């Protein structure tokens, strides 16, 4: 295939790629983004050649145009609507970041006050939703509860499920962002047998979530400002990440016209996997299993042994082939929280830092460009804050809801988008006739 500059003047087309297949030429437009890799538009390939492209895992496939998040994996860059993640983590609030991801610009002071009030006023859930929880075992994994209860929101909020109505899409978006912390806190309280704590309209997003999780009716709950700011920053770090597995799940579900609550429930289910959002829970379990610094070499060896089936959880990334910029902020936040809680001698932190130091100097990890990702330090931080391991991916889901919703809205409003329906390379049986019982050997 070669690329030459004959564009035919099609907008967005920067050049044309020519594919020669069995003597036949197939011209495919090459489109350029604002920044980042060009794309070869193969939409007409099957019609022109009778062939599909084949890319399991979508390692070289762009499935949409987006203006929300940009990642440069080689440079370790992450931009939300053009703003670097480290600047947002430093200077923005999570709700400011939610506004930015949804609307494309940082809110003015007036827009922020209005948005914050809107979200605050949607934090309660229908009182009858509390009945769902009694159907679960107390030891149910909270992610299983989240999938069920968030999916059930579409049974309560019929007035915001018409995806073709922009106003209903807006209300559904606000409801999703606002109610996720409330449902997550209810899942946690149910698992420990404590009464649900209602949201409070006088608190900010992160403080409200902390009090819904850790307050009890018998005494006042005092918000620790260091914890609240750290949690708000953790939510910013996890808010969106381009076309990751769970976001792609939400987009695919949304492409069929499914309502936003059902799409987010599908995203939660996908995020639960240990290769994706479940890695923060798996990473902490791995650090606890390693236990002490002297056992690290044994686990490094296992991670390098293909037959072991073991991987260093919290390491590696499909896109980042450099340090995940979120992991750097997460590591700093981890130290800040442990210091504030007087836990800086946390043994797991020592294991994590030594494991990182060894891995970053090991030829296997260097050659495969395996660096810590956002999940490597988040578990230690959340454990120190008092969250059980099973709640780590739930917190990831709370934050990622704004990313899922923003990408879902962009997909609905994209004139190029149609129902997602990939094809396959078929290696099964060719056509054969049915054989009756008495003829089968
Ligand atoms: C998240 O996509 C996103 O943006 C996700 C996310 C987001 O914000 O939405 O960033 C959040 O999911 C972060 C990733 C969390 N997952 C983990 O930490 C689980 C451990 N890491 C992996 O299993 C793996 O690195 C993935 C799933 C993250 C990426 O997998 P890829 O891109 O398909 O890479 P791969 O499995 O093909 O691995 C490439 C090579 C392989 O060796 P070879 O077959 O080439 O010899 O690297 C090896 C792998 O064996 N490898 C690892 C490893 N990760 C990859 N070896 C040891 N330990 C690891 N963690």
**Mean pLDDT over residues 141-158, rounded?**
94
Residue nearest to atom 55 of ligand 1 (CA): 316
Q: How confident is the model at residue 7 (pLDDT cuts 50, 70, 90)?
A: very low
Q: Are 85 and 72 in contact (CB under 8 A)?
A: no
pLDDT in tens, 261-308: 999 999 999 999 999 999 999 999 999 999 999 999 999 999 999 999
Minimum CA distance residue for ligand 1 atom 44 = 306
The C-alpha atoms of residue 27 and residue 42 are separated, in whole angstroms, by 9
| C-beta 279 within 6 A of ligand 1 | yes
Is the pLDDT at 1 greater than 90? The verdict is: no
Q: What is the pLDDT of residues 173-209, one digit of tens each?
A: 999 999 999 999 999 999 999 999 999 999 999 999 9
Residue nearest to atom 33 of ligand 1 (CA): 318
Beta bridge partners of 315: 372
Candidate of 284, 306, 316 to mutate for ligand 1, largest count of ligand atoms within 8 Å of Cβ = 316
Mean pLDDT across 377-390 = 95
Query: What mean pLDDT do residues 434-440 have?
Result: 96
What distance in Å separates the CA atoms of residue 375 and residue 423, rounded to the nearest whole number?
33
Q: Whose CA is nearest to atom 13 of ligand 1?
A: 276
Task: Name residues whose C-beta falls within 8 Å of residue 31's C-beta, 6 or more positions apart in sequence.
Answer: 12, 13, 14, 38, 39, 41
Distance 363 CA to ligand 1 centre (A): 17
CA-nearest residue, atom 41 of ligand 1: 368
- pLDDT for 393-428, tens place per residue? 999 999 999 999 999 999 999 998 899 999 999 999
Is 244 near ligand 1, meaning CB less than 6 Å away?
yes
**Closest residue by CA, ligand 1 atom 4:** 244
Return the ligand 1 atom nearest residue 373 CA.
13
Rounded average pLDDT over 327-340 = 95
- Cα of 71 to ligand 1 centre, how many Å? 16
Catalytic: 317?
yes
Judge contact between 187 and 135, C-beta under 8 A.
no
Which one of 317, 358, 407 would you pick to mutate in the ligand 1 pocket, going by the greatest count of ligand atoms within 8 A of its CB? 317
Q: Is the CB of 315 under 6 A from ligand 1?
A: yes
Catalytic residue among 324, 375, 433, 438: 375
Query: Stretch 348-376: mean pLDDT, rounded?
Result: 92
Share of the chain above pLDDT 90, in %: 91
CA of 202 to the centre of ligand 1 (A): 41
pLDDT value at 10 more than 60: no
CA of 366 to the centre of ligand 1 (A): 14
Nearest CA to ligand 1 atom 31: 318
Q: Is the CB of 317 under 6 A from ligand 1?
A: yes
Q: With beta carbons less than 8 A apart as the criterion, state whether 276 and 317 touch.
A: no
Beta bridge partners of 20: 25
CB 184 within 8 A of CB 209: yes
Q: Tell whether ligand 1 has an atom less than 6 A from the beta carbon of residue 316.
A: yes
Does ligand 1 lie within 6 Å of residue 311's CB atom? yes
Provide mean pLDDT across the span 13-32.
Answer: 90
Task: State in Å: Cα 234 to ligand 1 middle.
Answer: 21
What is the chain's mean pLDDT, rounded? Answer: 94
Q: Three-class SS string for 249-302?
A: HHHHHHHCCCCHHHHHHHHHHHHCCCCCCCHHHHHHHHHHHHCCHHHHHHHHHH
Q: What's the 318 CA to ligand 1 centre distance in angstroms?
A: 6
Residue 180 CA to ligand 1 center (angstroms) comes to: 28
Question: What is the predicted pLDDT for the residue at 192?
Answer: 97
Query: Of all protein residues, whose CA lies closest to atom 20 belonging to ligand 1?
Result: 313
| Annotation marks residue 375 as catalytic | yes
Q: Which of 103, 167, 181, 73 is nearest to 397 (CA)?
A: 181
Kindly state if the Cβ of 318 falls inside 6 Å of ligand 1: yes
Query: Ligand 1: distance of its center to the CA of 362 in Å?
Result: 17
Choosing from 122, 238, 317, 324, which is the catalytic residue? Answer: 317
pLDDT digits (tens, 9 = 90+) for 40-64: 999 999 999 999 999 999 999 999 9
Has residue 2 got a pLDDT over 80?
no
pTM score, two decimals? 0.94
pLDDT at position 9 is 45
- pLDDT tens, residue by residue, 59-110: 999 999 999 999 999 999 999 999 999 999 999 999 999 999 999 999 999 9
């Amino acid at each position: 295939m070669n690329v030459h500059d004959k564009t035919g003047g099609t907008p967005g087309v920067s050049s044309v790629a020519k594919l020669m297949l069995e003597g036949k030429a197939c011209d495919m437009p090459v489109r350029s983004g604002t920044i980042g890799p060009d794309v070869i538009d193969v939409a007409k390939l099957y019609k022109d050649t009778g062939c599909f492209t084949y890319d399991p895992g979508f390692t070289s496939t762009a499935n949409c145009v987006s203006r929300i998040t940009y990642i440069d994996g080689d440079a370790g860059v992450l931009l939300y609507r053009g703003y670097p993640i480290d600047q947002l983590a430093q200077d923005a609030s999570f709700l400011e970041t939610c506004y930015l991801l949804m609307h494309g610009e940082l809110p003015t002071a007036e827009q922020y006050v209005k948005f914050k009030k809107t979200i605050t006023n949607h934090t309660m859930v229908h009182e009858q939703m509390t009945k769902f929880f009694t159907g679960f075992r107390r030891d149910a994994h909270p992610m299983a509860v989240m999938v069920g209860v968030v999916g059930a929101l579409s049974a309560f909020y019929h007035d915001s499920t018409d995806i073709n109505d922009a106003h209903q899409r807006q209300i559904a978006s606000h409801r999703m962002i606002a109610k996720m912390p409330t449902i997550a806190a209810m899942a946690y309280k149910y698992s420990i047998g404590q009464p649900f704590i209602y949201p409070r309209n006088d608190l900010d997003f992160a403080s409200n979530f902390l009090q819904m999780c850790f307050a009890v009716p018998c005494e006042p709950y005092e918000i620790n400002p260091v914890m609240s700011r750290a949690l708000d920053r953790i939510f910013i770090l996890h808010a969106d990440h381009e076309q990751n597995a769970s976001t792609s799940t939400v987009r695919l579900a949304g492409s069929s016209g499914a309502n936003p609550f059902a799409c987010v429930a599908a995203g939660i289910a996908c995020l639960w996997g240990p290769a994706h959002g479940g890695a923060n829970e798996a990473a902490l379990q791995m650090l606890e299993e390693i236990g002490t610094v002297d056992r690290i070499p044994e686990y490094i060896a296992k991670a390098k042994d293909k037959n072991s089936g073991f991987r260093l959880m919290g390491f590696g990334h499909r896109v980042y082939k450099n340090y995940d910029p979120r992991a750097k902020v997460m590591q700093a936040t981890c130290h800040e929280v442990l210091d504030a809680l007087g836990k800086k001698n946390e043994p797991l932190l020592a294991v994590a830092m030594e494991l990182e130091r060894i891995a970053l100097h090991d030829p296997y990890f260097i050659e495969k460009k395996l660096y810590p990702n956002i999940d490597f330090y988040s578990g230690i931080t959340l454990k120190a804050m008092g969250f059980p391991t099973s709640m780590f991916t739930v917190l990831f889901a709370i934050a990622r809801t704004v990313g899922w919703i923003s990408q879902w809205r962009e997909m609905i409003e994209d004139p190029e988008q149609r129902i997602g329906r990939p094809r396959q390379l078929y290696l099964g049986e060719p056509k054969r006739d049915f054989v009756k019982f008495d003829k089968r050997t």
